[in-house]
A and B are shown apart, each in its own frame.
Chain A
Amino acid sequence: MSPFKVLVVDDERDFLESLVRRLQRRSVDAAGVTSGEAALEHLERQRADVVVLDVKMPGMNGIDVLRRIKQLYPEVEVILLTGHASVESGVEGLALQAFDYLIKPVKLDELIERIMEAFDRRKVVSELAGTPQPADS
């Protein structure tokens, strides 16, 4: 299994389940939930390094969830994934420090690549934040 945990949030169950299984098959430690509320609950119980988040969902939408996650777990990286490509939501998402903004359907390899990049950044950020920085490094 990968050294990082991924949480996929999407109300589209067919898509969600298949994507999670495929990620796992590629040795990515992935889990899936079908709503924003469930995602926050999940994060309470279990750590995740990268969250792949659908923007348009019933109940809490992706932007709200993103805002909440960044409040509670600022070190978690979020990749927004949506069928809609309105400029506003993209811009807003990036302003709320989402790592990236991808439009469905996205190729699995591309998604994994972005997830790994996001994890790399998360590592750097948490190292900088977690350990006191030596003066000479």
Chain B
Amino acid sequence: MNRPYANLSRRMTIVALLVALLPLNGLGLSLYYYYNYANTQALKEELRIRALNRTTAIELFLAERTALLEVLAHGARLTQLSDESELANLLSIMNRRSWSFVDLGIIDKNGQHRAYVGPYMLKEQNYRAAPWFQQAMQKGVYVSDVFLGYRQVPHFVIAVKHGNGADGWVLRATIDSDVFNRLVRTAQVGKSGDAYILDRQGRLQTPSRRGGKVLDPAPVDVRAVSPGSSVVERTTPDGRQVLTAFSWLGHGNWLLVIDQDPKEVLGTLNLARNVELAVLGLASLFIIIAVLILVRLFIRQLQTNDSERAAIDAQLAHSARLVSLGRMAAGVAHEINNPLAAISELGGEMQDILVPSELAKLEEGEVVGENLARIQNQVDRARGVTHRMLKFARRMEPHMEGIEINEVLRESYSFVEKEALFNNIKVQLDLDPGLPLIKSDRAQLQQVFLNLIDNALDAVGQGGRVRVVSRAEGPWLTVRVSDSGPGVPADLAGRIFDPFFTTKDPGQGTGLGLSISHSIMQRLGGSLELESQPGQGATFVARLPNQPPDTP
């Protein structure tokens, strides 16, 4: 494909692809992002609600236990609670229904244990300096953060004060960490979901699946978390993209954190999105293939049309040239014929007057007589020229007449006979003498035959052989021109009738001969084909309808 077609092809492809793919992919990508957005939003909302639910559950858990301890602290007498067997009895009653108290202790205003029941030996400990004790003494009720305590085991306590001012005493209970941790862990979802509680310093209050042990600092900036509940997208220190829900517990000291890997949960939601992407990809692929095929077809058709038009144009230009050449020849012949006729008559009249007896009287009568005869000879010669010109002019005008193919072939060959002779090419005319007259255009046929024979002579070169055969074959008269040349390579055979296609050196051929011949034969109702086996020479077959001259 040459440049203009390649350019056109590229431009059409680009435009078609843009027009088809831009809106489609625009729509597709919008849908893709919309799916992503909607899925993420849905997940965030779900996460936030889960966090709120858990927060409520945890608050309820703590509130129930605090309320129970308050009932005890306000309802019982100190003497009764100071009795450790009585206290142990209360603890076992409370734990009978999974209230998850590890121990119970009564602490006087000085921070000294009055009584203690539980698995640890804490009776002698003084809590005056413990933050939870001070807070409980001040506020009446206090739920501590997780701390290590004397046992160096992380735990948290609920403390309730009895009495007013500095004279009260404190009922204190340790909450079973396992039970509390399990309660928090129920907020975890999936393999990678994580749920834990942080205090205001950002320390873990319950263990995190990934973040570490209780009291380890967690990678969350607690101060930046807005009050109430919220959901953010964040990157964990180990580089995972997660959605995180924050929810503050009622007493404001604890923050429930739920981490969720969106990929894990969005899997099914993303299926629709992925199907959409796949459909988009497939559609784009189909469009690209279709565009490429269509552009290719279009360009090929365009090329065919263009070359056909070029052939017709060339043919028309050629015919027009011949016609104007013919007109000119006719005009010239006419202009010469008139003076020539006058010269002929004037000279002839002198010959009439100067008969031999008169010439004898003249001094150089012989010369005069000779010259007068020569004038007639020269006139005859010029007449021959002008009459041939007129004949040529007549031939240039297209017209159908009765034609003997063999005669046209012989005449065509006579034009190149000398050339064949010079190049020592043996030309064999094998003409069927029984061919009927047909109706056709003599001048155009001559042009075709001359072209074919000329090509054959060019193809064989020095010492080659050319054979011209005419036959009647069914409804056709066929003329075969074969040569002993190299033949036409198979890859070029399809193009030899294309206009401007030539294998000759630049300047040696226009590439129009066979193209014009081909269209002439078609116009005359016949055909021109190539029969060539590479290495065995080429044979051109011209077919003409076997049509008698008297048909209209």
Contact = CB atoms under 8 A, between A and B. Distances in A.
Nearest to A88: B397
Interface in B383-416: 383, 387, 390, 393-394, 397, 399
Top 8 nearest A-B pairs (CB, nearest first) are: A83-B337, A18-B345, A105-B341, A104-B341, A15-B342, A84-B334, A85-B390, A83-B334
Contacts of B255: none
Interface string B328-353: 00100111111011111110110010
A83 B348 CA distance: 18
| A14, A56, A83, A84 interface centre (most CB from chain B within 10 Å) | A83
Given A18-B346, A22-B348, A56-B334, A83 B341 contact: yes
Nearest to A54: B338
9 contacts: A14-B345, A15-B338, A18-B349, A21-B349, A22-B348, A25-B349, A56-B334, A85-B330, A85-B390
Contacts, number: 70
Contacts of B337: 82-84, 103-105
Given A22-B345, A85-B394, A105 B383 contact: yes
Contacts of A96: none
Interface of B: 330, 333-338, 340-346, 348-349, 352, 379, 383, 387, 390, 393-394, 397, 399
Contacts of B330: 84-86
Contacts of B390: 84-85, 103
A81 B388 CA distance: 17
A21 B334 CA distance: 24
Contacts of A86: 330, 394
B333 A83 contact: yes
Contacts of A25: 349, 352
Nearest to A81: B341
A3 to B, nearest CB: 22
A1 interface: no
Contact of A22 (B342, B352, B397, B399): B352
B348 A18 contact: yes
A83 B394 CA distance: 14
Contact of B341 (A15, A22, A56): A15
B348 A87 contact: no
B331 to A, nearest CB: 8
A29 B338 CA distance: 24
Interface in A92-119: 103-108
A37 interface: no
A85 B393 contact: yes
Interface string A57-96: 0000000000000000000000000111111000000000
A25 B352 CA distance: 8
Contacts of A87: 394, 397, 399
A86 to B, nearest CB: 6
A120 interface: no
A86 B399 CA distance: 13
From A22, A104, A106, residue with most partner B Cβ within 10 Å: A104
Contacts of B336: 83
Residue of B330, B345, B348, B352 with most chain A CB atoms under a 10 A cut-off: B345
Contacts of A85: 330, 333-334, 387, 390, 393-394
A12 interface: yes
Contacts of A18: 342, 345-346, 348-349
B334 A19 contact: no
A104 B346 contact: no
Contact of B387 (A12, A19, A103): A103
A13 B390 CA distance: 24
Contacts of A12: 338, 341-342
Given A12-B338, A18-B348, A85-B333, 8 more contacts: A15-B345, A19-B345, A21-B349, A83-B337, A104-B337, A105-B337, A105-B379, A107-B344
B338 A22 contact: no
A103 B345 CA distance: 14
A105 B390 CA distance: 13
Contacts of B335: 83
A110 B337 CA distance: 17
A57 to B, nearest CB: 11
B443 to A, nearest CB: 12
Given A83-B333, A85-B390, A87-B399, A106 B341 contact: yes
B349 to A, nearest CB: 5
Most chain B C-beta atoms within 10 Å of own C-beta, residue among A56, A85, A86: A85
Contacts of A106: 341
A108 B340 CA distance: 13
Given A56-B334, A84-B330, A85-B393, A14 B346 contact: yes
Contact of A83 (B338, B343, B349, B352): B338
A83 B382 CA distance: 13
Contacts of A22: 345, 348-349, 352
A14 B394 contact: no
A55 B375 CA distance: 26
Contacts of B348: 18, 22, 108
Contacts of A83: 333-338, 340-341
Contacts of B341: 12, 15, 83, 104-106
